[in-house]
Amino acid sequence: MNTIEETLWNYIDGNCSPDEQKAIHTLIAGDEAYRLKYQELLKLNTEFSAMELDEPSMAFTYNVMEAIRTEQAQQPLKAAINKRIILGIAIFFVLTIAILLGFVLSNIQLSAVTVATPAGLKMPEVNTYFTKPVIEGFLFFDVVMALYLFDTFLRRKSQPKEI
């Protein structure tokens, strides 16, 4: 049930429909009780609107920005560095090396290459080092490492991001 006060506050705040507004307007014009209450509430409304805001200390803004700066400075370097920059640098080096390698390989004339070994130098027999068990062991190690890295990658991906 709407009291006179509630109805009048709605009218003052502009929360009434046009029909309601018209009806209340008529009531204020014709009914003394409504008119007096309306004037009282209107004065209160003006009073409340004139409420003053409090002022924080002079150093408030500085303190906020300083706190933000301190927080950023305390961030671990890993989180502060933009991953795109790292990726960009990596792409630059890979491209440079690839271009250089391509240039060098395209300019080599293998037929013109003659390797002159010094008279007393004995070249080691590579075949003695790269035996079947060594190659198998190496491949096994590679597979284990690849599985370990893949597992780490999946674990990191499934972890929820911190807000």
Where on the chain is the footprint of other proteins (CB under 8 A)?
A: 5-6, 9, 15, 40, 43-44, 47-57, 60-61, 63-65, 67-69, 71, 163
Residues with Cβ < 8 Å from 5, sequence gap 6 or more?
37, 41
Q: How many residues does the chain have?
A: 163
Q: How far is CA 36 from CA 8, 22, 39, in A?
A: 11, 18, 5
CB of 105: closest distance to other proteins in angstroms?
43
Nearest to other proteins of 8, 28 (CB atom): 8
* Residues 54, 56, 62: CA angle, nearest 5 degrees: 155
CB of 9: closest distance to other proteins in angstroms?
6
Nearest to other proteins of 69, 143 (CB atom): 69
CB of 141: closest distance to other proteins in angstroms?
43
CB of 77: closest distance to other proteins in angstroms?
18
Helices 32-49 and 4-13: crossing angle in degrees, nearest 10, is 50
Nearest to other proteins of 53, 77 (CB atom): 53
Nearest to other proteins of 53, 119 (CB atom): 53
DSSP states of 118-137 as a string?
-TT-----HHHHS-HHHHHH
